[in-house]
Amino acid sequence: MSGFVGRQDELAELGEITGAAAAGQVAAAVVVGEPGSGKSRLLAEAAGRAPLSNRFRVVGYEPEREVPLAAASDLLLALAASPATHGLEALLFADDREDAAALQPLRIFESAHRALRMVGPALVLVDDVQWIDELSLAICHYLVRAAHDRGESLALIAGGRPSGTSIALVESLAQVLPPEHLRRLELGPLASGEALELVGMLEPGLSQGAAREVVARSGGSPFWLEALVRTAGGEVDAGRLVTARLRGASGDAGGLLALLAVAGRPLAFDDAAELKGWEMSRLEQALRELVSRGVAVDSGGRVWLAHDLIRVAAAGEVPEEQRLDVHRRLGNWLMRSAGNDVRRLREALAHRHAAGLPSVDVADRLVRSPQRTLLGEEGLALLVEIADESESSAQSVLMLNEQIAALATDLARHDVALERSLLLAERWPDSLRRARALLDGARSAFALDDLDRASGYLARARATHAGDELLDLEFDVQQAALDLWGAGPKERGRALAHEAVERGRRLYESDERSRDDGAGG
Ligand SMILES: Nc1ncnc2c1ncn2[C@@H]1O[C@H](COP(=O)(O)OP(=O)(O)OP(=O)(O)O)[C@@H](O)[C@H]1O
Ligand SMILES: [Mg+2]
C-alpha cells in the first residue's frame, strides 16, 4: 500500500472519537464520501492510530445487502469465539432447524453487547455502510445505545458512500449520543498539493508537468489518481475499471450508463425515463444497479456519473449506433425544452451535431442570441466545426460564418475572426460583401497588431468594391487607425480621421433627412 497523504483534520477528529472510548465513554463518527475518495483508507489509518487494541469490523458487501446479519458476521464470529460468550455461539450456530427459524435478533444483539463488554474498550469499524443489511445496521446501533445507556465504553467509526443508509445511520446515532460524541465527516477531494505528493509517492519518476496533469484529471480523487498513475495517464484502465464494476449488471443498467455518459450532465429521473422511453420503475431498477456499483450517484431526484473519468471511459465503450441514437434523443429533447437558454441550446446543438442531424439552423439561432458570448471558446470552436462541415457556398452557411466572425471578435479571438473573414472574402458572390469581409479581416489583423497584413487586406478591399459611400468611409476610418498606430508620421492619419468624421456626420444627416422625408411622404 502506498504512503498516506493529507486528511490531518479528519484523523484528528477520529482521534478524538477513539480517545473518548479509551477514556471510558461512547463516541461515534460517520465518514461519507464519493466512491474512491479514501474512506476505507482513512478508517484503516484511524484504526492504526487508535489507543484501542480491541477492534472489530462490520463490512457491507453489495450482493449480500439483503442477507440478514451478513455484514456483521465477522463481528459476531469474533465475539462468539471469545471464551466468555458461549451464549452467543449457541444462538448463532444452533444447528437444529427450529431454533434457527426462531432466530431472535434482540437476543443476538444483547449477547453481542455482553460479549463486547467483556473484552473492554473496543473500536468497531463499519465500512461500506451503503451495502449493509438492515439487521447488521441495527446491531451497530444497538451496541452503541446499550454501551451508552449502561455507562460503558465503545468507539464506532463508519464509512460509506452518500446513501440513504449512511444518512439513516447518522440519524439513529444522533438519537443516542450527545452531539459532542458524534461526528459526521464529509470526505472531499485531496488538496492539489496533497494529490501531487501522492503522485510523487506512487510514481517518483514522473515529471512535474505530467504529475500536474494527472492531478487535474483525477479531480483530487485518490482512487483515480492511482488508476491514472498506473496507466501513465491513459484512459484504458478507467475503461477497464468501469467494465469490472459493471460485471453482472443488466442490459438496462448499461443502457442508462450510456445515456448518462453521452449526456455528460445530471439528469432528473423523469427526464432520464422519458429519454429512454421507460416506465419509472424500470429506470429506478437500472439506477439502483449503477449506484450500488459506485458508477453513478443520485441525490435530490437527479442522477449523474460518479466521476468524470467514469463518464469518459463509459462513453468510449458505447457502440457507435447507440451513441448516435442517444445524441439524437438528447438533441431533440433539449431543443424542445431550451427556450432561449443559450446554454441548453448549446447542448442541443452539440448533440444534434454529434448525431449527424442538420445543425446550421440551430447554430444560427444560437450565434445570434444576445447571450452568445456565454458560448465561450468551446462553443465558438463547435460553431466553426459546424460551418466547415456544411455546404460552404450556401447562403445560410455564409451568414453563419459572418456571425461566427462577429462572435469571435466579441470573444477577442481575432485569429478566428480573421480566418472566417478571409474565407468569406473568397466565397460571397457579390463584390460588396467580399469587400466588407476583407475590411473585417483588416480590422482583425489590426487587433492582432499585424499592421502590414491589415494594410494589405484594406488595399484588397478597396480594389474589390468601390463607390459605396458608407463602405468608403469605413475604409478611411480603418486607414486612419492604421496611420495613427503605425510607425510612420501621423499627419495623414489625423487629417483622414477629421475628414472621415465630417463625412460621417454628413452621411448621417442625409440619412436622417431621407428618413424624415420618407416618414412625411
Ligand atoms: N489519503 C490518502 N493517501 C494515500 N492514498 C490514499 C488516500 N486515500 C485513499 N488512498 C488510496 O486510494 C484508493 C481508494 O481509496 P479507498 O478505497 O479508501 O476509497 P473509498 O472511498 O473507500 O472507495 P469506495 O467507496 O469505492 O469503497 C486506495 O488504494 C487507497 O489506498
Ligand atoms: Mg471503501
- Please say if the pLDDT value at position 486 is more than 90: no
- With a 6 Å cutoff on the Cβ, whether 8 touches ligand 1 is no
Position 229 scores a pLDDT of 78
- Please say if the pLDDT value at position 71 is more than 60: yes
CA–CA gap between residue 376 and residue 407 (Å, rounded): 9
Quote the mean pLDDT of the chain: 87
Position 91 scores a pLDDT of 61
Q: Give residue 232's pLDDT band: very low, low, confident or very high (50, 70, 90).
A: low
Q: Check if the beta carbon of residue 216 is closer than 8 Å to that of residue 233.
A: no
Tell me which of 60-64, 130-134, 484-488, 493-497 is least confident: 60-64
Q: Which of 37, 41, 49, 199 to mutate to test the pocket of ligand 1 (most atoms within 8 A of CB)?
A: 41
Q: Check if the beta carbon of residue 411 is closer than 8 Å to that of residue 404.
A: no
| Residue bearing the bigger pLDDT, 382 or 309 | 382
Mean pLDDT comparison of 11-25, 345-359, 379-393, highest-scoring range:
11-25
Position 494 scores a pLDDT of 87
- With a 6 Å cutoff on the Cβ, whether 346 touches ligand 1 is no
- With a 6 Å cutoff on the Cβ, whether 223 touches ligand 1 is yes
Task: For residues 384-399, give the mean pLDDT.
Answer: 91
Q: Which of 40, 130, 230, 241 to mutate to test the pocket of ligand 1 (most atoms within 8 A of CB)?
A: 40
Which ligand number lies closest to the CA of residue 35?
Answer: 1
Position 142 scores a pLDDT of 94
Q: How far is the centre of ligand 1, averaged over its atoms, from the C-alpha of 147 (Å)?
A: 31
pLDDT digits (tens, 9 = 90+) for 120-134: 899 999 999 998 988
Q: Check if the beta carbon of residue 324 is closer than 8 Å to that of residue 356.
A: yes
What's the grid cell of residue 441? 479581416
Q: Give residue 237's pLDDT band: very low, low, confident or very high (50, 70, 90).
A: low
Residue ranges in 231-375 assigned as alpha helix (H): 236-246, 251-263, 269-276, 280-292, 308-317, 320-338, 342-354, 360-367
Residue found by looking up cell 449480500 in the block: 64
Position 22 scores a pLDDT of 92
- Please say if the pLDDT value at position 330 is more than 60: yes
Nearest CA-CA partner of 43 in 156, 151, 207, 119: 156
Tell me which of 190-204, 276-290, 310-324 is least confident: 310-324
Q: Check if the beta carbon of residue 347 is closer than 8 Å to that of residue 267.
A: no
CA–CA gap between residue 92 and residue 319 (Å, rounded): 50
CA distances from 95 to 89, 91, 92, 103 (A): 11, 9, 9, 11
- Please say if the pLDDT value at position 45 is more than 50: yes
Task: For residues 471-493, give the mean pLDDT.
Answer: 87
Q: How far is the centre of ligand 2, averaged over its atoms, from the C-alpha of 36 (Å)?
A: 7
- Please say if the pLDDT value at position 101 is more than 50: no
Q: Check if the beta carbon of residue 281 is closer than 8 Å to that of residue 344.
A: no
Q: How far is the centre of ligand 1, averaged over its atoms, from the C-alpha of 37 (Å)?
A: 6
Position 346 scores a pLDDT of 80
> Which residue(s) pair with 55 in the sheet?
123
Which atom of ligand 1 lies closest to the CA of 3?
4
Q: Give residue 194's pLDDT band: very low, low, confident or very high (50, 70, 90).
A: very high
Cβ-Cβ contacts under 8 Å for 137 (sequence gap 6 or more): 71, 129, 165, 168, 169
pLDDT > 90 fraction of the chain, expressed in percent and rounded: 48
Single-letter amino acid, residue 41: R
- Please say if the pLDDT value at position 117 is more than 70: yes
Q: Give residue 102's pLDDT band: very low, low, confident or very high (50, 70, 90).
A: very low
Grouping H, G, I as helix, E, B as strand and the rest as coil, residue 107 is helix
- Please say if the pLDDT value at position 195 is more than 90: yes
Position 90 scores a pLDDT of 64
Position 92 scores a pLDDT of 63
Task: For residues 470-487, give the mean pLDDT.
Answer: 89
pLDDT digits (tens, 9 = 90+) for 149-187: 999 999 999 999 988 889 999 999 999 999 999 999 999
Position 104 scores a pLDDT of 67
Nearest CA-CA partner of 475 in 511, 503, 513, 452: 503
pLDDT digits (tens, 9 = 90+) for 423-458: 999 999 999 999 999 999 999 999 999 999 999 999
Q: Give residue 393's pLDDT band: very low, low, confident or very high (50, 70, 90).
A: confident
- With a 6 Å cutoff on the Cβ, whether 333 touches ligand 1 is no
Single-letter amino acid, residue 84: A
| Residue bearing the bigger pLDDT, 429 or 209 | 429
Which atom of ligand 1 lies closest to the CA of 225?
12
What's the grid cell of residue 287? 439506477
- Please say if the pLDDT value at position 235 is more than 60: no
pLDDT digits (tens, 9 = 90+) for 361-376: 889 988 988 778 777 7
Task: For residues 326-342, give the mean pLDDT.
Answer: 85
Position 156 scores a pLDDT of 97
CA–CA gap between residue 448 and residue 202 (Å, rounded): 45
Helices 269-276 and 280-292 sit at what angle, rounded to 10 degrees? 110
- Please say if the pLDDT value at position 493 is more than 90: no
pLDDT digits (tens, 9 = 90+) for 277-302: 999 999 999 999 998 877 888 888 98
Which pairs count as long-range contacts for 239-243, CB under 8 Å and 24+ apart, including other chains? 239/313, 239/314, 239/316, 239/317, 241/310, 241/313, 242/295, 242/310, 242/313, 242/314, 242/317, 243/317
